[in-house]
Amino acid sequence: MSFKALLATQDDGNFAVNLAQLDDNDLMNGDVTIDVEYSTVNYKDGLALTNRLPIIGRFPLIPGADLAGTVRASSHHGIQPGDRVMVNCWGLGQTHHGGFTQKARVPGEWVIKLPDAFSTRDAMAIGTAGYTAMLSIMALEHGGLTPQRGDILVTGASGGAGSIAIALLSRLGYRVIASTGRLQEADYLRELGAADIIDRHVLSEPGQPIARERWAGAIDTVGSHTLANVLAQTAYRGVVAAFGMVQGHDLPASVLPFILRNVTLAGIDAVNAPQSVRLEAWSRLARDLDLAKLTSTTQVVGLAEVPDVAQRILKGQVRGRTVVDVNA
């Protein structure tokens, strides 16, 4: 039976992404076949769909780092037809057909059963962005941070990961400072739980190697000078979780925050995190995320609209999360 998918191709150096009709012979190896219902567009997907960075490692390939749906067939222990499941990262959209499709076949060890609290649409409203935000909060907690320690800064606050990080942190009792380049989104950020909002430009320019203590910890989605300035203003024994490089992959920082203030910089990897860590993160999301706030961050598009969303997400023109209804 044929199904619809977005297919990335590269012939003689010419990169293209187009809707295609595929069949089961086009599926890749795996022991779980999924009828996909929803996917999502993350910043990384934007890079892949525009070929801004060589995210896609083989062609032709279906992009998309996330998918959620219902199991059609499985020979993997513990996963049965009819189970509601999702897959985040691993090789999706890089070396293995990803989530911008109506059908997928994947290794069973990549598959997570959905917590009862979430629909398949909810799972993709969270997606890799929200799962990464939860991994970041777990890193802050591992470093000893509690709401009593002080404010938590979130950079790239209007984006998907930033929006969900704010919603999670505020519900957990933290006072959140949101850094954004879109000050017109201030009301949106306050509704998610931000107590204070600062212009990203106060962090994005070269700064001092160490500066006045302003926050107990931070979740950084930006990198480069922004991350350096975040570290310089983190309080004694603070923790900064970092996973983004929107501004750049360099870190023009000093060792002073680490030596003089005992600051911890925790790198967050969502792609290859062990399954046990993923399960803990999704269990925490089911417990700690306000679904009403999640809904307020989300828009829904069809497969044909995904390339346009990819362009806009790289320009910083997409607020919150974009869910893809692959059957629309």
199 and 255 in a single domain? The answer is yes
Best CA proximity match to 15, nearest among 23, 25, 7: 7
11 assigned to some structural domain: yes
Are 97 and 197 contained in the same domain? no
> What's the rounded Cα separation, in Å, for the pair 315 and 182?
12
Q: What is the pLDDT of residue 231?
A: 98
Is residue 290 included in any domain, yes or no? no
Structural domain for 15, as ranges: 3-114+297-325
Residue written as token pair 């067939």: 73
Domain count for the chain:
2
With tokens 């595929």, the residue in question is: 22
Residues 96 and 215 in one domain: no
Q: What CATH number is given to the structural domain containing 107?
A: 3.90.180.10
Q: Which residues contact 254 (CB under 8 A, 6 or more apart)?
A: 209, 210, 228, 232
Domain match, 138 and 257 both: yes
Which is it for strands 321-325 and 32-40: parallel, antiparallel or unpaired? antiparallel
Q: Can you give the pLDDT at residue 166?
A: 98
Measured distance CA(38)–CA(281) in Å, rounded: 20
Which pLDDT score, from 0 to 100, does residue 176 have?
98
Determine the pLDDT at residue 12.
Answer: 87
Q: Please check whether residue 304 is in contact with residue 281, taking contact to mean a CB–CB distance below 8 angstroms.
A: no
Looking at the domain assignment, is residue 276 inside a domain?
no
Q: Is 6 left (phi over 0), alpha (psi -120 to 50) or beta?
A: beta
Q: pTM of this prediction?
A: 0.94
Per residue of the chain (328 residues), give pLDDT as tens: 899 999 999 998 899 999 999 999 999 999 999 999 999 999 999 999 999 989 999 999 999 999 999 999 999 999 999 999 999 999 999 999 999 999 999 999 999 999 999 999 999 999 999 999 999 999 999 999 999 999 999 999 999 999 999 999 999 999 999 999 999 999 999 999 999 999 999 999 999 999 999 999 999 999 999 999 999 999 999 999 999 999 999 999 999 999 999 999 999 999 999 999 999 999 999 999 999 999 999 999 999 999 999 999 999 899 999 999 999 9
Say yes or no: 73 and 173 in one domain. Answer: no
Would you state the pLDDT for residue 268? 98
Q: Are residues 106 and 156 in the same domain?
A: no
